[in-house]
């Protein structure tokens, strides 16, 4: 509506509903301020329901509209048309899907159209209104936002780290029940870019497999870092289409010595095609050197274009096949094409070499590509879902490799510190292969739970991760516990400084060694709760080797931390028998500050804010770094700061 002049008039509609097949709809409303809501099924995309069932029917839209109209009529007395339309969209999606499955009834001549049963809930239903989720569609003109909106951010009140822990512990169905998940065979992904890439490849393959007169191979490209799962991803997509028809072949071009090796590979492809199967041919490291940079590309042009290869004076048809070109030196399609080069001179030089290697001709023969995102973070600002990918991969490995660690309730038996280290270590040296290797090297055959003692030695870990960083995440709780008293003493020093000219008779003005055990315990308890408090403002506490930079809290963060600390302190006092009183009395156990944060006197609030403002420096002095939790992208962080 923004960009098509023929549709701009629709922006003036008060209520506009756009269904997307049987799987979702957009509800656009404009009562002065435009707003759009997406309704969707988490396990399907547009057209997927009908494609999976291989059939078509007329009357589907009529059933959707009937469900919508029914909801409007039933809600006509409450004067809330927006809510009625929202519920009507849910009813319409349910009605259309039930109609598609149940059909016209057992006797077409006698059955009513549509059958009233599709509008009634029953025990044999396969879909309910509660299955249909909704989310507000963001509308931002921020140039920094590179399509960074993810439904997972809006549908969850927790940060990505907590969601990741939940995925490993309880599985995707429990942790991501309101989030779109794409599944292709054994492959699951929640990353929108990956979902779109895989679905594009699946659609291409499905059309190609069903085509009767295909004379050339279907050529696609797959990019990703080594170990990211390029082969696994495309193989699972293929198996979800025609597992009995497609047969996989693997060739690594970096191991080929001459074009004759490639001709021998084509013969193997042709042999499979001749017996009536469709070969899925992986040409791994197709972008490797052969004489020159990208030297193999020119040998694929004729087979990709005409479906033929030459051997001496003979020309052979390849037959129906899927060519999957897996990048070895380029981790993304953009990198392969040189589109990521900003320097004009360097880009010109690259493109000259690319043309000489027949790069543009090769690309023109591709019908699709997908960038595979492994368990490592690709970009610090934009790739925030890497920890979710790690969690889903780890859960999959546990289910496949050590199923005895999953109990009857589907809960993974894994130590929290082991889980933290596996999810938060900065980098896996060999991507998913490294994560799999650490699991295989752990002594889990007879284990009832994956404990720290089951992990491989530091020397073995060094093969796959930075073992020092891994151990620091693993021992986080131990490191923090060791420094509790030291942190408590530093908090006491700050407290003493803030109250020096005001509460000269207060016990906190004494030196640490002269404090009562109750007061020491109070400071230690505050120190223990620092990580939990900082979670409230989206910071994780990480143990590091060197003293880190000191974080400066925003005004909103300081107020949030101070309110949290006051609530924690109040609860601790009340549990110890203290109550509100006009004056502080240690014998009667009364305290004037035992009131809600909102009614705490301004001078008390100010001192508490000054106290929590010192936390970042106190933690830094003990080599604890504050790291922002990964759940906001760059542009969202800017907007959030403005709102605060």
21 shares a domain with 91: yes
**131 near 154, Cβ under 8 Å?**
no
Q: What percent of the chain has pLDDT over 70?
A: 93
Q: What's residue 265's pLDDT?
A: 94
Q: What's residue 362's pLDDT?
A: 94
Range from 41-45, 62-66, 321-325, 365-369 carrying the lowest mean pLDDT: 41-45
521 shares a domain with 639: yes
Determine if residue 79 is left, alpha or beta; phi over 0 gives left, psi from -120 to 50 gives alpha, anything else beta: left
Residue 176 in any domain: the answer is no
Q: What's residue 144's pLDDT?
A: 55
Residue 120 in any domain: the answer is yes
Range from 174-183, 378-387, 411-420, 502-511 carrying the lowest mean pLDDT: 502-511
Residue 451 in any domain: the answer is yes
Residues β-bridged to residue 133: 40
Q: What's residue 642's pLDDT?
A: 46
Residue 154 in any domain: the answer is no
Alpha carbon distance 259, 263 (integer Å): 6
636 shares a domain with 487: yes
400 shares a domain with 523: no
Residue with the bigger pLDDT between 468 and 146: it is: 468
Q: What CATH number does the domain containing 359 carry?
A: 3.40.50.300
508 shares a domain with 458: no
> Is residue 631 over pLDDT 60?
no
Residue with the bigger pLDDT between 107 and 351: it is: 351
> Is residue 437 over pLDDT 60?
yes
pLDDT tier at 27, thresholds 50, 70, 90: very high
558 shares a domain with 512: yes
355 shares a domain with 229: yes
pLDDT tier at 64, thresholds 50, 70, 90: very high
> Is residue 459 over pLDDT 90?
yes
> Is residue 205 over pLDDT 70?
yes
**Mean of pLDDT values over 306-310:** 92
> Is residue 60 over pLDDT 60?
yes
**Mean of pLDDT values over 605-618:** 92
pLDDT tier at 632, thresholds 50, 70, 90: very low
The pTM of the whole model exceeds 0.85: no
Q: What's residue 504's pLDDT?
A: 55
Q: What's residue 355's pLDDT?
A: 92
Give the DSSP letter string of 375-436: SS-S-TTT--THHHHHHHHHHHHHHHH-GGGB-TTS-B-B-HHHHHHHHHSS--TTTHHHHH
Could you give the angle at the alpha carbon of 29 between the alpha carbons of 28 and 30, nearest 5°?
Answer: 130
336 shares a domain with 197: yes
pLDDT tier at 555, thresholds 50, 70, 90: very high
> Is residue 137 over pLDDT 90?
no
Range from 104-108, 168-172, 235-239, 258-262 carrying the lowest mean pLDDT: 104-108
> Is residue 560 over pLDDT 80?
yes
Alpha carbon distance 191, 373 (integer Å): 9
> Is residue 478 over pLDDT 60?
yes
Largest Cα separation within the chain, whole Å, is 106
pLDDT tier at 644, thresholds 50, 70, 90: very low
463 shares a domain with 485: no
**424 near 474, Cβ under 8 Å?**
no
Residue 49, token pair as written in the block: 């329901």
Last residue of a domain, one of 458, 479, 500: 479
Alpha carbon distance 597, 566 (integer Å): 7
**Mean of pLDDT values over 71-85:** 83
Alpha carbon distance 290, 141 (integer Å): 46
> Under 8 Å CB-to-CB from 171, ≥6 apart: which residues?
395, 410, 412
SS3 135: strand
Range from 177-191, 270-284, 517-531 carrying the lowest mean pLDDT: 177-191
347 shares a domain with 308: yes
**Mean of pLDDT values over 34-50:** 83
Residue 144 in any domain: the answer is no
Q: What's residue 104's pLDDT?
A: 75
> Is residue 35 over pLDDT 70?
yes
Residue 155 in any domain: the answer is no
Alpha carbon distance 607, 141 (integer Å): 41
Give buried/exposed letters for 616-638 (b at 16+ CB in 10 A, else e).
bebbbebbbbbbebbbbbbbbee
**23 near 50, Cβ under 8 Å?**
no
DSSP 213: -
Last residue of a domain, one of 136, 164, 180: 136
Q: What's residue 145's pLDDT?
A: 56
Q: What's residue 301's pLDDT?
A: 94
Q: What's residue 643's pLDDT?
A: 46
pLDDT tier at 415, thresholds 50, 70, 90: very high
pLDDT tier at 182, thresholds 50, 70, 90: confident
Range from 68-82, 104-118, 536-550 carrying the lowest mean pLDDT: 104-118
What is the count of structural domains for the chain? 4
**Mean of pLDDT values over 494-521:** 79
Q: What's residue 54's pLDDT?
A: 64
> Is residue 6 over pLDDT 70?
yes
> Is residue 158 over pLDDT 70?
no
Determine if residue 276 is left, alpha or beta; phi over 0 gives left, psi from -120 to 50 gives alpha, anything else beta: left
Alpha carbon distance 296, 457 (integer Å): 42
Q: What's residue 575's pLDDT?
A: 84
Q: What's residue 497's pLDDT?
A: 86
Q: For 192-341, list the strands marked E by DSSP.
A: 218-223, 246-252, 278-284, 308-311, 314-317, 322-326
Range of the domain at 544: 480-643
| Full strand arrangement of the beta sheet holding 322-326 | 246-252, 278-284, 322-326, 218-223, 368-371
Give buried/exposed letters for 251-278 (b at 16+ CB in 10 A, else e).
bebeebeeeeebeebbeebbebbeeebb
Residue with the bigger pLDDT between 20 and 149: it is: 20
Residue 508 in any domain: the answer is yes
Residue 72 in any domain: the answer is yes
Last residue of a domain, one of 479, 509, 533: 479
The number of C-alpha atoms within 13 Å of 225 and in the hemisphere containing its C-beta is 15
> Is residue 563 over pLDDT 50?
yes
> Is residue 336 over pLDDT 80?
yes
Look-up of token digits 């055959």? 445
513 shares a domain with 399: no
pLDDT digits (tens, 9 = 90+) for 516-554: 888 888 899 999 889 888 888 888 888 888 899 999 999
352 shares a domain with 417: no
């Amino acid at each position: 509506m923004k960009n098509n002049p023929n549709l701009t008039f629709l922006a003036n509609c008060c209520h506009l509903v756009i269904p997307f097949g049987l799987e979702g709809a957009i509800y656009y409303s404009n009562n002065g301020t435009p707003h759009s809501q997406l309704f969707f099924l988490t396990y399907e995309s547009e057209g997927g329901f009908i494609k999976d069932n291989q059939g078509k029917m007329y009357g589907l839209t009529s059933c959707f509209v009937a469900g919508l109209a029914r909801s409007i009529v039933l809600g006509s007395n409450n004067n809330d048309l927006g809510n009625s339309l929202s519920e009507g969209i849910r009813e319409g999606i349910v009605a259309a899907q039930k109609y598609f499955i149940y059909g016209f009834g057992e006797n077409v001549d006698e059955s009513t159209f549509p059958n009233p049963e599709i509008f009634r809930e029953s025990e044999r239903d396969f879909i309910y209104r509660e299955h249909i989720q909704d989310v507000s569609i963001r509308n931002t003109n921020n140039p920094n936002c590179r399509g960074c909106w993810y439904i997972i951010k809006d549908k969850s009140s927790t940060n990505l780290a907590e969601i990741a822990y939940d995925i490993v512990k309880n599985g995707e169905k429990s942790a991501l029940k309101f989030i779109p998940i794409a599944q292709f065979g054994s492959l699951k992904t929640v990353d929108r870019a990956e979902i779109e890439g895989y679905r594009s490849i699946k659609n291409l393959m499905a059309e190609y497999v069903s085509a009767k007169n295909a004379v050339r191979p279907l050529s696609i490209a797959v990019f990703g870092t080594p170990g990211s799962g390029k082969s696994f991803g495309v193989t699972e997509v293929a198996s979800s289409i025609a597992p009995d028809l497609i047969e996989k072949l693997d060739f690594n071009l970096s191991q080929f010595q001459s074009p004759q090796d490639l001709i021998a590979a084509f013969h193997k492809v042709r042999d499979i095609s001749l017996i009536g199967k469709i070969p899925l041919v992986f040409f791994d490291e197709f972008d490797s050197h052969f004489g020159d940079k990208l030297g193999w590309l020119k040998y694929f042009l004729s087979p990709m274009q005409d479906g033929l290869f030459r051997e001496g004076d003979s020309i052979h048809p390849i037959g129906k096949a899927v060519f999957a070109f897996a990048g070895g030196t380029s981790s993304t399609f953009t990198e392969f094409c040189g589109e990521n080069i900003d320097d004009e001179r360097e880009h010109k030089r690259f493109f000259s070499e690319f043309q000489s290697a027949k790069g543009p001709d090769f690309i023109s023969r591709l019908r699709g590509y997908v960038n595979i995102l492994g368990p490592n973070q690709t970009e610090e600002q934009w790739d925030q879902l890497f920890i979710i990918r790690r969690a889903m991969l780890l859960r999959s490995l546990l289910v496949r490799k050590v199923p005895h660690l999953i109990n009857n309730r589907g809960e993974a038996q894994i130590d929290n510190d082991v889980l933290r280290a596996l999810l938060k270590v900065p980098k896996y040296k060999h991507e998913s292969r490294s994560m799999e290797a650490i699991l295989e090297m752990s002594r889990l055959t007879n284990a009832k739970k994956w404990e720290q003692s089951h992990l491989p030695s530091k020397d073995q870990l060094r093969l796959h991760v930075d073992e020092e960083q891994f151990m620091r995440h693993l021992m986080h709780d131990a490191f923090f516990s060791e420094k509790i008293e030291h942190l408590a003493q530093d908090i006491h020093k700050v407290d003493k400084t803030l109250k020096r000219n005001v509460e000269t008779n207060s016990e906190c003005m004494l030196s640490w060694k002269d404090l009562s055990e109750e007061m020491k315990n109070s400071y230690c308890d505050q120190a223990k709760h620092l990580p939990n408090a900082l979670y409230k403002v989206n910071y994780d506490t990480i143990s590091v080797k060197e003293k880190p930079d000191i974080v400066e809290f925003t005004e909103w963060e300081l107020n949030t931390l101070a309110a949290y600390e006051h609530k924690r302190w109040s609860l601790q006092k009340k549990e110890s028998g203290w109550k509100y009183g006009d004056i502080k009395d240690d014998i009667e156990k009364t305290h004037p500050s035992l009131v809600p944060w909102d009614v705490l006197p301004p001078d008390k609030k100010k001192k508490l804010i000054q106290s929590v403002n010192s936390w970042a420096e106190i933690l830094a002095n003990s080599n604890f770094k504050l790291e922002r939790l990964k759940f906001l992208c760059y542009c969202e962080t800017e907007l959030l700061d403005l709102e605060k």
